[in-house]
Structure formats: C-alpha cells, structure tokens
Structure 1
Amino acid sequence: MGKLTSKSVQALIKGEPNRYADGDGLYLVVPKSGHPSWMLRYSANKKRREMTLGKVIDISLADARLDAATKMKQLREGADPLIQRQRAEQENIKTVNDLFHDWYPTLVKRLKYPTIPQRIYLKDIAPHIGDIKLDQISARDIRKVINTINDSGRPTIANDALGYSKQLFNHGIKLDLMNFNPASAFTFRDAGGVEKNKIRALNEDELNQFFSTARKHKESFSRSNYLACALLICLGVRKSELCEARWDEFELEKGLWHLPKERSKTNVAFTIPLAIEVQAWFEELKIIGFGSDYVFPSRKISKKPHMGSDTLNRAITKLFGHEAGKKKQPKNVMGDIPHFTVHDLRRTCRTLLARQGTQGHIAERCLNHKLKGVEGIYDQYDYLDERKEALDKLATKIHSIVI
C-alpha cells in the first residue's frame, strides 16, 4: 500500500482493525475499540519505540506528517522523542498540587486504599501548601501543616500527613524536580507524637449511657448512625465494610451477609451470620434507605453514594462537645465517659465475646482476623456455626441495651 491520503484514511478507519503505514515511521492505528490514532515507530539505542501522536479526529494527516517529521529530526540530532515528551510533561509540574496529581497514579497501583492519602492531602495538606511552587516550598510550610492539624486535636492525622508529605516530596526528587525534601527533617515527635496501641473498649455501663444519650439526641445522632454503632458492636466488622455495604451482599431471609473479597481487608470473601435482632435492624435500614443500593446511602450530595468514612466519628465526637469547623461548639452530653472512636466499638465487640466465654480462635474469626502461625496455615475451617452461636449470644445482650 502506498502513501495514505485523506480519503483513504476515512475509508480505513471504518474498516478492519489494523496498522497502516504512511512512510517515514508514521502509522495509522485502527483499534478494535476506541478512537483511531497516529503512531510513530522508530529505533533508539537499538530498541524499537512506539509513540502515539494523537487521535485522528484531532490531528489531520498533514499535521501528523509534520509532527512525525519534527520528532524524527530530534532523533537524528540525538534526542529520543519519547524521552523529550516525558521531560516536557514533567516541566508542567510546578506546584505541590501538580506534583500530587503526578504522584497519585503510583498510589493507585500499589495501595489497596489510595483514597486515604488522597483524602488527607486534599483536606489537610493542599489548602495550606497546594499552590506553592516546588522551588519555593520550605520546612516552615510543612511545620504549619502539621501544627494546624495537631491544633485541631487530630494527632494521628498529623502523623499521617507528615508521612505522606515525605513520600510526596521524595517523588519530586525522583523526577529531578526538587533538590531536597522539606519534610525530611521532621519526625513523628514534631507531629502527633509516637502513637500508642489503643486499648479502649466500652464496658456495659458505658454502652448503656452512650445509647441512652444517643436516643435522647436524635436531632444530632440519626437513627442510621445509631443502628450502625449497634451493628459494629454486634458484628465486629470494620467501619468501611459496614458503611459501604450493598444490599446485594445480603441474604436476610437466611441470616447471612456475604462480604466480597474486594471489600474485605484480608482480600478473602467472608460470610457473616446475622442474629435475629441484627436482621431486624437491617430490615429497618432497608426502609430508611428508600430503595438505595446501599445499606447506608449518603445523606448529602456527594461523589460517594454511601455513608462517608468520617460520618460516624463526627457524630460521636459531637456528643462529646466538639464539632469540627464550628466556632460555637455543642454541649458535651456524654458526661464523664472518656471519648471513644468507631474503631473502639470493634474492640468492644472482641472484648464482649471474650467476656461471654467465646473461645479465642472463634472470636478472632468473628472479627475476620486471620489465625496466626501454623494454625492459620493448616486450619482452613471457617467456624460459621460457632460464630453464629457466639454472635447470637452477643446480639441478645446488646439488643437489651439498644432497644
């Protein structure tokens, strides 16, 4: 086939998927799906390289030839066109925000939950330093970020923000965009401090007081939040596993919740037995949800269709007299009970299972923990019947407090 023409290009893009040579390394690529495009093939350092020039709908044949000729001239002068393009793209990374947007795709590839560092960056880092140019960022800017987070009473988030900042600016050094990391001199002692293992679990009196108080303040602690807390104690599941649950994961008539591996922290599908009391709470949530696909649909206009990751913690914290972003703080209605978080409810479940006499390995499986050591390798039994008995007994106790 000879040189392409504008007319032949229009005919080819309607035909079979293939590559059609125009000459001098330029090809028309017609894919099985997607838009036809222009591609340049060449050899550099004895290696075959391919470089997409653009879509046919955006670039004419004449412009594609001109672009290809320009890049082949670069090659003859000793510059690899693909490397030159990559360098040009990196030159557009000028601010901290630009650097983050280049760094984030690497998180998607290697982290199971890349939205966690994304959320912390967008909420707590970007408002302070996002628009600062990379050649102007300083250690004082980093200190301002971690001090501001610390002053808001979130030392753990301050530690996380410092850790992500170090990774972000190391990415800038890798790309030869920065000569130093402005966060490198700081340690966790400069941020939120060395974190201790939490041991908070609510006792029966505290549970009675919490649920009693929550019932009296329905205007700030919704029924959905109330039932979510009860379910976390009765099932021992992780916050995200419950808040992001879909109704198609449930067989309520059989008393089963099939947690898919994609949403399980262990990356293994897990079936959770539901006590009669728990089934009734889920049935109530189905009514509250007005036909939503999610057990806890988002109550606000949001990118996420389900309850947000901070919703329950914010609701609990408000009962203790603190509401983020408000100058006038609410009254502490929880009395002398020490503050607790959503994760403490999961720990409470584990503690109550032990207190009622549930064997350790069964209690661990109730929380979807992998059994440790040799036992975890050879014991593949899922203890569904034993877990059902244990969780039924726990639900009966918690129901008398929640009702």
Structure 2
Amino acid sequence: MALSEVKLRNLKPKEKAFQESDGGGMFVEVLPSGGKVWRLRYRLFGKQEKVSLGEYPAYSLAEARQWRADCAALVTRGLSPMALKRGDAIPNDVKPEAKELADAFLKNWCREAIQKQQIKTAAIQAEDTVEAFARRWYAEIVEPNNSNPRNIHRVLEKDVIPAIGGKQIGDVTVTDVLAITDKVKARGADQMALQTRNVLKRLFAYAIAREKAKFNPAAAIEAKFIATAKSRDVALTAAEIGKLLRAIYQSSIKRSHKLALHLLILCMVRKCELIEARWDEIDFDQGLWIIPGERMKKDKDHVVFLTEQALAMFEELKGLASGSEWVFPSTHSLDKPISKSTLNVAVRSFDADVQNFVIHDFRRTASTHLHEAGFNSDWIEKSLAHETKGIRGVYNKAQYADQRREMLKWWADFVDSQIEENRKVIIGRFGKAYNAN
C-alpha cells in the first residue's frame, strides 16, 4: 500500500532499521534513532543504483513523490540521480533537454551537493588568487633560487598583494599592472616601478606554466612605458649596496677614496660637491656640512645633516688631509682637490660584480630606498638638493631639518646593515662603536 501522511507520522523506530515502500522504487527508511529518510532504487544501464533525498518531514510525501518522478525522467535520458546528488559534473555530451532537467534536479533536490560544490569551487578559487599564488611562487621558486629574495618579497607585500591580492590570477589585466606601477611612480620611485613590473612579469610567467593563467599582463607593457632608462635601469638593490661597499673596502684603492665613495651614498650629494669640499664647510659640533651656493647646481646653499657614521668618516679624513684646506687633497699638491675623474678611475680598478654601475647611481639608490621605506618625498628631494617645480615649489620653502636628520640616520643604519651581511672585512668604526668611544 502507498504511504500516507498519517502512516508516516505514526511510524515508530525499532531496534533495527526498516523500510516502508511507496512504490516505484521509493521508500522511507526508519532508523533506530527515529529518523525517517527518503530513498529511491532504480536501474541505469543494467545496474542498480540508490539515491537519498533527505529526511521526513523536512521533505513531505508530496515532495518525495515529485522527486521520484524527476529521478525517473533523468534515468529515462541516461542520467544518474545518484551521480548528480554526490556532485559529479553533468556530462558535456547530453542533449539540451536533458541538461535542463539535470539543472532543475540539482536546484530542487540537491541542496547539499550544491553547497559542497560551492565550497569546493571557493577553495579552488582561493588557491588561485594573486595573493595565494604569489606566496606559492615565492616559496617554491623565488626563495630557493635567489640569494637575496627580500626585494621581491617587499614588492609583493607592499604593492602587489594590497592592490590585487584578492583577484583571480587569471583575471589580472594590463590596467591592473599599470595601476600598481603608476602608484609606485607617484612615490617618486620610477626605477622601483620598473622592478615591480619585472617581478609581476616573472610571477605571471610561472602562472602560465602552471596553467593558472593564459596571458602575461606585465609582459605586455614595455619597460620604456614605465620608466626611462638611465645609466642603470634600476637603482642598486639592498644586496648590491652591501656587495659594492664591501668590494670598495677590500680593494687596494686609497683609504680616503674608499671613504669618499662611502660618503657619497650616505650624504646623497653629487660627486663634484664632495670632492671639492673644504674643511671650513664642515661643522663637527652641529653635525652639519653647508655647501656654498656657488658649488651647487641651483646656486643655493645646501645643508647636509651628518650622521654619526658620516662624522666619523670626516674625522678620519681630517687626519688624512695633512693640514690641507681640502677634504680630499690631491696626491700631487695639498693646495688643490683630487680631480673629477679620480673616483671614477678608483671604481673601475676593482671588480664590484655590480652590473653597469656608475657613481651617480648612489643618489638614485638612496632616493629609491627612502621612497620605498615611506619617507616623505619633500624630505628626500630637499636632501638631494632638488627644487620642487610649479606652484608647490614657490610655497614650499621648508628645510625639514629634524625630519631629514632622522631620515638620514635611518639611511646610514640601513646601509650599515647591508655591509654587515656576509661581512669579511673591517671597514672602520663608523657607527655606534665609534660613538661609544
């Protein structure tokens, strides 16, 4: 006999599960716990299958009978209700009518399967976000194969992940990449913008290799559209700063020339401004170096705030100057400074293993790292003796003395930390050790 709502309500559990049929292969199974579950048996391609709907009364008798009819319609068209229930994909070769029936069946009767599929899809999508994939790339490829992966890590964490970390790796566009590089350029770090593009180019090349993306949006942007090439396409990396300064101090060039090159990066001045420095410009008590306007590019006095490291170097140079008025007197005469080519010749005399390096890179390097560290552009530009153009420049006459002192102190300590890494040479007591003595 067919089931009724009254009979269903009155079914009592027993020690073992038992079944009550409603015909057509459908029955309700009464569990020892008291639960009543709708199930259906049917044959497909000569094999028996069984599928469950859910519990009564969550699914009423009328709903269960409609479910049975829908299952029968699927079986007639060669589709398995059991397979659809467990979340298997609908075969691609089914006819449109059968596809519509399957979609309706999933929507009406497979809520749990749909939820599981949604959770599975969300998990897959989470793995393929830019953030997740970038971290995977960094761990699997970058870190094991780079002696200094910190710069790439910084690019990812500071600029890439905050901007597009939640986006699917395969959905990133050229516009997304340009938005990131333009934001970096707005900080005054053109070369870092180019480096960011290069990091993204490598990231998407790996994504393509792993079949997570079909297009490399960073490769579609030529480098010249991000930053104009200069003597170097990029500033010295943190690792290159340490490598270069260690090479300088391990070389056979004169001690005063070693200190000169070190001071160039700490003080952010031009080469001609340093080699023509006179002792009457240095105020050891105030920690100032005041370069007169006639020696500056803009004909205005320029103040350099000297860090403990820089002061220690000038103290040593004072002893090496043999009483000359010049900080860097010529070897042939104490009455004139070294020539403009002296430091260039010194740099060429040793192998620093830094590609295409020129002395002017020190200023670009300082600017890039300070911008990347978040220091105010006005402080950096003032330390470089750059004049701000336009209306902003007319009204911006501030010297930012305290801010520049703190910024240059951070920069000197940062440079020290790069030298200390893998250090195998004693360069001098230029930091806290000097101050303590």
Q: Using structure 2 for the length normalisation, give the TM-score.
A: 0.42
Question: Which entry has the higher C-alpha Rg, 1 or 2?
Answer: 2
